[in-house]
Amino acid sequence: MSKVQLITHQLGTHLLEQIHSASSICILTSFVMKSGVQYLRDALKVAAERGAEIKVCTGDYLFVTQPEALRMFLEIDPRIEVRLWKSNGVSFHPKAYLFQTENQDCLFVGSSNLSRSALSHGVEWSLSVSDDEDVFSEGLHLFLETFYAGQTIPLNQETLKEYEDRYEKFHIHTPNLAQKWTETEEMDLMLPSEKEPIPTTEVIQDPPAPYGEIYPRFAQIEALEELNKTLEEDYDKALVVMATGLGKTYLAGFFARNFKRVLFIAHLEEILHQAKKSFQTVMPDQEFSIYNGKVKETNGHTTFASIYTLSMQRHLQVFDPKEFDLIVVDEFHHAAADSYQRVLEYFKPKFMLGITATPDRNDNKDVYAICGGNVAFRLDFLEAIERNWLSPFKYYGVYDETDYSQITWLGNRYDEAELLQLQLRDEMADKVLKAWTDKKQTRTIGFCSSIKQADFLSDYFNRKGYRTVSLHSKQMGLNRDDAISQLDEGTLDIIFTVNLFNEGVDIPAVDTLLFVRPTESLTVFTQQIGRGLRLHDTKDHCVIIDLIGNYRNADVKLSLFDKDFSGKKKSKIIEPVVPELCDIELDVQVINLLKEMTRKKQPRRDKLLSDYQALKQELGRRPTYLELHLKGASDSPQYRQEFSSYYGFLEWAGELSESESAIFHKYEQWLVEVEKTGMAKSYKMVVLLAMLERGQTDWSIPITSRQAAPFFHGYLTETEYRKQIDFADNSSKKLWQYDEAGVSRLIATMPMTKWSGSSKGLISYEEDMFKLNFDIAPEDQALLFEMTKEICEYRLHYHFERKAR
């Protein structure tokens, strides 16, 4: 029987009582004050020390949250997780406290932020709900969605430093905070934020096979072959990149038949249910279960679980770390890396498979990192079109004279209020209508940047005699499945929406896509393009009508359509080379605009520094070279190309300590040599790693080929993929069984002699003695060791990544 209690004073005493016994503590509050953290500090410290899981989410709205309060959280206990919601000027007002014990769940919701006055003597009202599993489960699920949302960043020394700077600047320019707050609140009432929330209704599913067993087809056949090779080569994780419409989930189902117990992780509830149906079609004789915020099933061949639920210790520990042989992670760029890292570090599967349709590194660096950079198979939508597996397209770039440079950029999107002022005009709607009527086919999805814009355009088109609807989560009296059916049947001309059709929904008959929003994310744009490329007997191509203005990413988005694309060309593609049967047509004004934008594009070094700083903030410290490679938004070789070495970049960026800077300048030739020496095989770095394995004080002592041989052989033969990549030619195959003399000869002939000859005197090899030809001061040994090892480990990982060609 649930208990509900109204609390009108001293909420803090109730919170302290719960903290005393809770195994899980979640705090969601619009701002935190130093006094509030002090009020709970001792209790939270004791809870953290006994192993309670503690998560705190607060916001930067109007910079009320005090930096001192955030710093205090970092000092209480490093195990307390704090994330900061970047409101970008949009109101952020939640106040909720959730506690779990072995015997009870309790939720407090009300008016109290985290300040001493709110928790003790202030006039505040709160409701306490306990022993209501449904209410608590929903509250916890919503908390985790907020906690790991894209608008949040982890609190660490780096992000705190950034917040302090912004806080000080804001308060210098806004001395009258109370007046500013009032004005902003009034604006929010007039123009509420309308970012599309995650949809929760069921989606149209592909019907199950009407008879018999289904088999892999098209791209799935090739992808399965490559995945099976990764198993044979002893890789334990891999990524598959397949365009929308090629059956990634079915591919995962086919691959999962090789394993006894499977965990499928996704970020959307509807994807879990859709994936379950796909797996049931592939394996009709197996049982499957759902484990999410509402359902807690654990039986069967495959468990389909929400990342938000699994990110809580209480739910994660329901499972044994070795319970699953295979873990499949679907479209996992949506949740914060921390949530996935916790889950994936807990489980010890035989194999982990990541699947995605949108591998753009700028948006999806976490995909790459979690799979260790190993790409088993890649097939984008352009190649799929060339193979006749997806529909061709005709792309029209229509000039949009809107001056986006005058609209405030908020880090990851444009200011919504300013954008709407330009979008909600009849003359703009008339331009959209004209472009659409001139180029459309029969069934259209129109992608908008806000619900207000979708409603406005739908109303305008309807007044002009067309049959349209605005479909979104706030729509009343309109069933989403009914709207989709009407569009499919042709009784609707357009569905205007925001982010509802980015993923998880398929309407193959759609033959026209209308983009009336600035492209803020290449990932989202790619997903939305995929909505129109499914094959259908009523269409021979898809029309894409895209309004292009001088918004961010306008000059790089067309690279997505270029079949000859390479990273080096990314910012220079004006008119892409598209697949046969496809066409691209740009207004003259669009061509001129894009040429002008590429001329003004930020220099390459600025981009590399910006991406580095973003990763440093995410980690809360300077990333290692390998972390930069796996998690950074820019490709790691660009740092070497621009600065000769990673440490050269760090010196340029002012990121080295005084002692590190001195070491860099003193031994720069050596660091650049380790970074840039040619490597058809890994042998040079394996010999260097053998030296480094001897430790900080002895690593630079000369080494013979016989001394290096045991480590060299063991490293290259301990995994199948190393053997197959670098130890599989006829001469080295003979050495799979250890033969000291044979391995020594190989080392002497290959890495030692060749590196000596190409190192410009930095290395010598004489009388079987491989030697560094420069002196290292004793006080420099430790730091130079760390720098050298960091580069060596990066180069070995990069060399052995399994990259799909």
Q: How far apart are CA 478 and CA 500, in angstroms?
A: 14
Quote the longest CA-to-CA distance of the chain: 90
Cβ-proximal residues to 25 (8 Å cutoff; 6+ apart), any chain: 18, 19, 44, 47, 52, 53, 54, 55, 97, 98, 99
Using CA atoms, how far residue 510 sits from 441, 506, 750, in Å, is 9, 9, 59
Calculate the alpha carbon distances from 658 to 351, 783, 787 in Å: 43, 12, 14
Tell me if 715 sits within 8 A of 691, measured CB to CB. no
Give residue 458's pLDDT band: very low, low, confident or very high (50, 70, 90).
very high
Work out the mean pLDDT of the chain and round it to a whole number: 88
Residue 373 pLDDT grade (very low, low, confident, very high; cuts 50, 70, 90): confident
Question: What's the rounded Cα separation, in Å, for the pair 514 and 444?
Answer: 7
**Which tokens hold the place of 632?**
């950074």
Token pair of 408 as six digits? 């405030």
Are 759 and 677 in contact, with CB atoms under 8 Å apart? Answer: yes
Looking at the predicted structure, is the pLDDT value of residue 497 above 50? yes
pLDDT at res. 552: 77
Q: Do domains 219-379 and 393-599 have the same CATH topology?
A: yes
**388-447 confidence digits (pLDDT tens):** 999 999 999 999 998 988 888 776 678 888 899 899 999 999 999 999 999 999 999 999
Whether residue 198 is predicted with pLDDT greater than 60 in this model: the reply is no
Residues ≥6 apart with Cβ < 8 Å to 198: 145, 268
What is residue 602's predicted lDDT score, i.e. its pLDDT? 62
- Average pLDDT on 59-80 reads 94
**Hey, what amino acid is at 476?**
M
pLDDT at residue number 501:
65
Quote the CA–CA distance of 108 and 148 in Å, as a whole number.
Answer: 20
Q: With bands split at pLDDT 50, 70 and 90, how would you rate the model's confidence at 371? A: confident
Report the pLDDT value the prediction gives residue 766, as an integer from 0 to 100. Answer: 96
Q: Is the pLDDT of residue 805 over 70?
A: no
Reading the block at residue 398, the tokens are 């229509």
Q: Which helix (H) or strand (E) holds 490?
A: none
Superfamily of structural domain 393-599: P-loop containing nucleotide triphosphate hydrolases (3.40.50.300)
Tens-digit pLDDT profile for residues 615-662 = 898 889 999 999 999 988 888 999 999 999 999 999 999 999 999 999
780 has a pLDDT exceeding 70? yes
Distance CA 729, CA 733 (A): 6
d(CA 328, CA 701): 45
- For residue 199, the model assigns a pLDDT of 39
The confidence score (pLDDT) of residue 555 equals 77
Phi, psi torsion values for 126, nearest 5 degrees: -140, 155
> What's the mean pLDDT in 589-609?
83
Residue pair 163/60 in contact (Cβ under 8 Å)? The answer is: yes
pLDDT in tens, 656-695: 999 999 999 999 999 999 999 999 999 999 999 999 999 9
Where residue 644 falls (left for φ over 0; alpha for ψ -120 to 50; beta otherwise) is left
More confident residue, 332 or 5: 5
pLDDT at 511 over 90: yes
pLDDT of residue 217: 85
More confident call, 101 vs 368 = 101
Residue extents of the structural domains in the chain: 3-190, 219-379, 393-599, 657-800
Q: How far is CA 263 from CA 220, 309, 324, 778, in A?
A: 20, 13, 6, 51
Instruction: Name 615's Cβ contacts closer than 8 Å, sequence gap at least 6.
Output: 623, 627, 628, 631, 632, 633
Residue 89 confidence (pLDDT) above 50: yes
Q: What's residue 141's pLDDT?
A: 87
The secondary structure of 252-321 as a DSSP string is: HHHHHTT-SSEEEEESSHHHHHHHHHHHHHH-TTS-EEEESSS-B---SSEEEEEHHHHTSHHHHTTS-T
pLDDT band at 294 (very low <50, low <70, confident <90, very high): confident
Q: CA 746, 752, 757: angle at the middle one, nearest 5?
A: 125
**How do 126-130 and 105-110 pair as beta strands?**
antiparallel
Using 50, 70 and 90 to split pLDDT, how confident is the model at 573?
low
Q: How confident is the model at residue 277 (pLDDT cuts 50, 70, 90)?
A: very high
For 745-754, which contacts have Cβ atoms below 8 Å and span 24 or more sequence positions?
Answer: 745/705, 746/683, 747/683, 747/687, 747/705, 747/708, 747/709, 747/712, 748/705, 750/681, 750/683, 751/683, 751/684, 751/686, 751/687, 752/687, 752/705, 754/684
The residue-averaged pLDDT of 286-292 equals 94
Q: Does the domain made of 219-379 have the CATH classification 1.10.3720.10? A: no
3-190 fold:
Endonuclease; Chain A (3.30.870)
Query: For residue 738, what pLDDT is reported?
Result: 95
The 8-class DSSP code of residue 748 comes to I
**Residue 191 pLDDT class (50, 70, 90 cuts):** very low
Q: What is the CA radius of gyration of the chain?
A: 29
pLDDT for res 212: 53
**Residue with tokens 């009032």, as numbered in its chain:** 182
The answer to whether 798 and 625 are in contact (CB under 8 A) is: no
61: left (phi over 0), alpha (psi -120 to 50) or beta: beta
- Which of 15-19, 210-214, 359-363, 568-572 comes out lowest in average pLDDT? 568-572
Round to whole Å and give the CA distance between 94 and 304.
30
The CA–CA distances, whole Å, from 145 to 172, 269, 303, 306, 450 equal: 33, 11, 20, 10, 20
Q: Give pTM, 2 decimals.
A: 0.81
